[in-house]
Amino acid sequence: MDELTPWDPTRPGCGAGIRGNEGRWTHCDRDVVAAGTRRFHHTPRERWRTYACAQHQEWLDNPRPLAEADRDDLAWRQEQHDQATRGRPYMRVRPLPT
């Protein structure tokens, strides 16, 4: 992974982008094992809570094992994602307060 590898901090799973079939970017679907934060070069003042699988956890700032609050947040993110894909009102994941 490098700085050009896509990372979606709003995903209800591992935020890493991986190359799928035919070389197109897709989302990593491995089980989440770590929580942490990330900053991005295009928005350096924003810090995002995000999650990763074992393979991608080194891309998190200060990765740590999942806590109960993280599991609750992941469930909430999945619920909001499901609402959005059904065309229903949903709440967006936001960066952490600065």
Residue pLDDT, tens place only, 46-98: 899 999 999 999 999 999 999 999 999 999 999 999 999 999 999 999 999 87
Confidence of residue 1 (pLDDT cuts 50, 70, 90): low
Alpha carbon separation from 55 to 16, 32, 79, 85 (Å, rounded):
10, 10, 25, 27
Model confidence at 45: pLDDT above 60: yes
Q: Residue 49: what pLDDT?
A: 95
DSSP percent split of the chain into helix, strand, coil, nearest 5: 25, 35, 40
pTM of the full predicted structure? 0.86
List residues bridging with 64 in a β-sheet: 35
